[in-house]
Amino acid sequence: MRNHVGRFAAAVAAVVTILSVSIALVSAQGGQTKAPAPTAAPAARGQTTTPAAPAATAPARGQAAPTPARGQANAAAAGIPRMSPGGKPNFTGLWQSLSGANWDIQDHSSEPGPFYQLGAEFAIPAGQGVVDGNEIPYRPEALEQRKKNRLNRWTADPELKCYMPGIPRATYMSFPFQIVQGDTKIAFAYEFATSNRVVNMGTPTKAPVPTWMGWSNGRWEGDTLVIEVTGNNDQTWFDRAGNFHSDAMKVTERFTYRTPDVIDYEATIDDPKTFTRTWKISLPLYRRLEKNAKLLEFKCVEYTEELIYGHLRKPTN
């Protein structure tokens, strides 16, 4: 009898033990059905882990939006290329505009090209302007000249004759350009007509004579490269639509990184002979990132000889 009682007690104890273990396992599994909070991926070698920023919440009605944490406003600027030593932004690279500003710096609709035989090729595509406010403040007499330029654009545009395009037009033509930056000089090389200029970053100097590409003096305003271009001749246009200037024009350019591969470009135009006030254009410039991207040559003089000098040919009979 005693043996039976002992066996029964042992069996009860085993059942209790099994139930206890089962309950513990079920509890553990139940706790695992709720996904744990995600943890940050381990930092790359040599990097520190940055805590995740709390989710932004909309301010209550009547309250101002919260001020960004210190340093967050310059997050994009932190990754831009910089000179060493010195720490100034390094704009060295191959850049190009993707705008249609070379056709017309103001808003414009599509139009047919110069010859109907070409059909859609060389037709003028519609485009959004790059002029702030889309208004160019011409003086009355200058506006009349602009209208004449537009009427004669297929023969009078300096681009047709392969003249150097001048500033700012060289920046937004459909050709890339290259910047090579040093501490005291910055070189700009343009593919169209192998145009170029050198920006003096030292003590400003005066232009010896007016030229197509002007005379460039640069300075830094924080992380913005500011270039003043003077000594411009009056032989360049802003676009193919006939917008023009005089030899009194001064262009103030501003180059500011938006991201490591995008520059925000601005050019303020000051020409009291042609305009009633200063005005500005603005557009982005994009870094060319193709494999082995390089600046090529577009020497167009030989393509324009007949256009420019054809009328001087002696008659053959």
Task: Sort strands 196-200 and 185-190 into parallel, antiparallel or unpaired.
Answer: antiparallel
Would you say residue 16 has pLDDT above 60? no
- Looking at residue 75, its pLDDT comes to 52
The reply to whether the predicted model has a pTM over 0.85 is no
Q: Could you read off the pLDDT of 29-84 as tens digits, one per residue? A: 333 333 344 444 444 343 444 444 444 444 444 444 444 444 444 555 669 999 99
- Looking at residue 56, its pLDDT comes to 44
Confidence of residue 313 (pLDDT cuts 50, 70, 90): confident
- Looking at residue 181, its pLDDT comes to 98
- Looking at residue 11, its pLDDT comes to 44
Q: Is the dihedral of CA 299, 301, 303, 304 positive or negative?
A: positive
- Looking at residue 5, its pLDDT comes to 38
Q: What is the 3-state secondary structure (H, E, C) of the chain?
A: CHHHHHHHHHHHHHHHHHHHHHHHHHHHHHHHCCCCCCCCCCCCCCCCCCCCCCCCCCCCCCCCCCCCCCCCCCCCHHHCCECCCCCCECCCEEEECCCCCCCCCCCECCECCCCHHHCCCCCECCECCCEHHHCCCECHHHHHHHHHHHHCHHHHCHHHHCCCCCCCHHHHCCCCEEEEECCCEEEEEECECCCEEEEECCCCCCCCCCECCCEEEEEEECCEEEEEEECECCCCECCCCCCECCCCCEEEEEEEEEECCEEEEEEEEECCCCECCCEEEEEEEEECCCCCCCCCCECCHHHHHHHHHHHHCCCCC
Query: For the chain, what are the domain ranges?
Result: 93-308
Q: Could you read off the pLDDT of 238-297 as tens digits, one per residue? A: 999 999 999 999 999 999 999 999 999 999 999 999 999 999 999 999 999 999 999 999
- Looking at residue 49, its pLDDT comes to 42
Q: Could you read off the pLDDT of 118-155 as tens digits, one per residue? A: 899 989 999 999 999 999 999 999 999 999 999 999 99
CB within 8 Å of 204: residues ≥ 6 apart: 217, 228
Q: Could you read off the pLDDT of 163-199 as tens digits, one per residue? A: 999 999 999 999 999 999 999 999 999 999 999 999 9
Torsion angles phi and psi, residue 139, rounded to 5:
-70, 155
Would you give the distance in Å from CA 144 to the centre of its chain? 33
Task: Sort strands 185-190 and 177-181 into parallel, antiparallel or unpaired.
Answer: antiparallel
Q: Are 281 and 131 in contact (CB under 8 A)?
A: yes
Token representation of residue 22: 């089962």
- Looking at residue 28, its pLDDT comes to 39
Minimal CA–CA distance to 260: which of 83, 85, 92, 76?
76
